[in-house]
């Protein structure tokens, strides 16, 4: 339990930030999952379209420092490689 007024406020803010970060990370995971589903479906055009929708979501989290830039680059690279490998 917080001992000072400022610590209590910091705890309240941390809980708000945590809830926002969880929601944003969930949005990124959903975008990545949508691309993976499109790839598994075998439709290259649909996969490219969902990839184009996912990239800004991933980049937004990098700008907000919620996800490390290398993790975001890895996600984008792996998804793009899987789309390129489609026939």
| pLDDT for the residue numbered 21 | 97
| pLDDT for the residue numbered 87 | 77
Reported as a single tens digit per residue, the pLDDT across 9-57 is 999 999 999 999 999 999 999 999 999 999 999 999 999 999 999 999 9
Q: Cα(8)–Cα(13) distance, rounded to whole angstroms?
A: 9
CATH of domain 5-84: 1.20.58.110
Confidence of residue 1 (pLDDT cuts 50, 70, 90): confident
pLDDT at 2 over 90: no
Residue given tokens 């917080």 in the structure block: 2
The structural domains of the chain, with segments of one domain joined by +, span 5-84
- pTM (2 decimals)? 0.87
Is residue 39 within 8 A of residue 9, CB to CB? The reply is no
């Amino acid at each position: 339990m917080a001992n000072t007024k400022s610590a209590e406020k910091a705890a309240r803010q941390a809980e708000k930030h945590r809830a926002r970060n969880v929601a944003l990370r969930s949005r990124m995971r959903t975008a990545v999952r949508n691309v993976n589903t499109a790839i598994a479906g075998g439709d290259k055009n649909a996969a490219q379209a969902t990839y184009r929708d996912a990239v800004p979501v991933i980049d937004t989290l990098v700008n907000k420092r919620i996800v490390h830039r290398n993790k975001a680059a890895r996600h984008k690279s792996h998804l793009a490689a899987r789309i390129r490998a489609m026939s």
